Structure 1
Amino acid sequence: MLQTLEGIQNGLRLSVTTPLEEVEAAAAAEDVLVLEFDAFRDGRGFSLAAVLRERGYRGQLIAAGKVLPDQARHLRRSGFDAVELAPGADRAAWARMDQAFSAAYQPAVDPDPSIWRRRRAAANDRDLDALADRLNRETAGKGAAEIVKAALDPALGLKVGAISSFGAESAVLLDVVAREKADVPVVFLETGQHFLQTLSYRTQLTRALGLTDVRLVTPDAEEKATLDARDDLWKTDADACCDLRKVRPLARATAGFDALITGRKRYQASTRADLRPFEVLDGVLRINPLAEWTGDDVEAWLDARDLPRHPLVEQGYRSIGCWPCTRAVDDGEDARAGRWSGMDKVECGIHLGKRKAA
């Protein structure tokens, strides 16, 4: 919601008639910028705000001068954080007009999706639900290779990628994918806190399987500087650390994909007990070709294909993530007991969106 600030505000003040180049140059050194409108009908202030935001300005933008409550929503959607009001101005009117409409017909610099995108997303969800249901029926009783092949069928017109941690069991999924299509994009979340052995294993496995499009995705530098400058967020808030280093980067990196292949299996965690080969998660088709596999199935495939093993496996690491939140497991312990040990946490969050199982 657009803030309403009473009285003259501190910050560099510029008229909306100021050329864009001068505004950009001034904004580069300012945390607060006040743009003064000289006339109610002058739209240059809205354009200046939108361009500044589009080009990365993260400071506070305040609208001042001749602006009306009717313009509140447009000011906010153009990138303004607040409006400067005269003492005694009707703040309620500004709040009311800012929230007068619940949908937008045009995209803007704010994150609100347009009504057209909402309708398209809803239709897409319905289409994907039907597709997941059909593919689950068609691949019932078939193996992992057949499930991957069905997902990659050109007739479906899907842009498909894969997610891999290059962990203890990752070789199996990547081998199945590579045998079908070695150039499927493989997204690896480079959190900055992986074991060195994992990074070496990623290189080894990529070469061994002939993968040609492994994409390293890192946290946003500015978000990391703000939220975890000392690299110790995991000590105080493991969920926030996973969100910063995994959930947000994955969302950005896979925005253009219609479907994502994962290596999840039912036996790994209670949150995966009902996993199906095809499901819809946050408007994206998730493909789980190993959903019904057991630990013995994984070992048998690794042996049969003579696939490279993660070097930490022989040291007792059976599920491998970031080093601060992973430990070796003892005999008899669940494979994922070493992940977030001692915490009420079993998933990093990238697989916990709003699921629409077929």
Structure 2
Amino acid sequence: MERAKRKLEHIDFALKTGQQRKSGLEDISFIHQSLPGISLNNVDLTVEIGGLNLSSPIFINAMTGGGGLETEKLNGDLAIAARETGIAMAVGSQMAAIKDSGQQASFKVARQENPNGVLIGNLGGEATVEQAKRASDMIEADALQIHLNVIQELTMPEGDRNFAGTLSRIEEINRCLGVPMIVKEVGFGMSKETVEQLLSVGVSIIDVGGFGGTNFAKIENERRAKILSYFNEWGIPTAASIVEAVNVSPALSVIGSGGIQCPLEITKSLALGAKGVGLAGHFLKLYKELGLAQLIKEINYIHEDLKIIMTALGAANISELRKTKIVIAGNTYHWLTQRGIDCSTYAK
């Protein structure tokens, strides 16, 4: 199938299948602080992630591109939202534009609409160093995501079936690229073993892309004649994946994503140890249903609510929020306990 048509189908099916709401963040509870000791006016949302200095811990995560005028309009409007709210933005996979120069406009528009913002490029694990440099140059990227999507590819009728050499390609890109590199999952989560492998080749920024949000197995199954139903519930929930990644090394910058939709879930993700939080499905749905102006309002509301919640917790900045005491219960507690992680340390 023509790649551009597939990109448009992904958007339609993402809206149709919706968000899983199985991120595990419902298992996380804050310990109430009656004496927070800080003022709302002094709460600071700035954060540093792997060399990127950001005014906010949230960003618009990778969605699309390479689908002609429709995705050009979408990326342009998302870039306007990022510009108006001061947050970073990642574009979708640029391989479409690498293989067809006619699709470059659907990515370049992000830089045109947001000339001074933080933009993050995106390619899959099959990319070469030369392709990574072209993707970065295409949008004058401040960083580049390399996405891992094995389950999506296996479910995709025309997807890749050979994943040999991915780690060595990531190592080479990271060594040669010249801008920070983020390795991210696309909705199936990262285990501590995967994160350890990435750390061993020099990767310092991880986006866990946990199970619980947009489900690319379900999306690709919508396009299959023979459904691979066993992949529809496959993955590591976002909350558990954040903890697994954070516990590998303090040298890592971990980004939480995967079904995160509201300020409370963002705050919980940061309290679990993430430095930043990516939102995609929630923003896409809001934009499609209510338009750009409402998306901008929503992002501003999120920032306001984050500051309110942080005030209640006595956390004046993101570093303090990441040390906030929490209780982990339910399936997330059982998952992490069986994986050898002592959940009580988060509450003490």
TM-score tier (shorter): under 0.3
Work out which of the two has the higher radius of gyration on C-alpha atoms and give 1 or 2: 1
**TM-score, reference length from structure 2:** 0.25
Q: Counting helix residues as a fraction of each chain, which structure ranks higher?
A: 2
Greater RCO (CA < 8 Å, at least 6 residues apart) = 2
**TM-score, reference length from structure 1:** 0.24
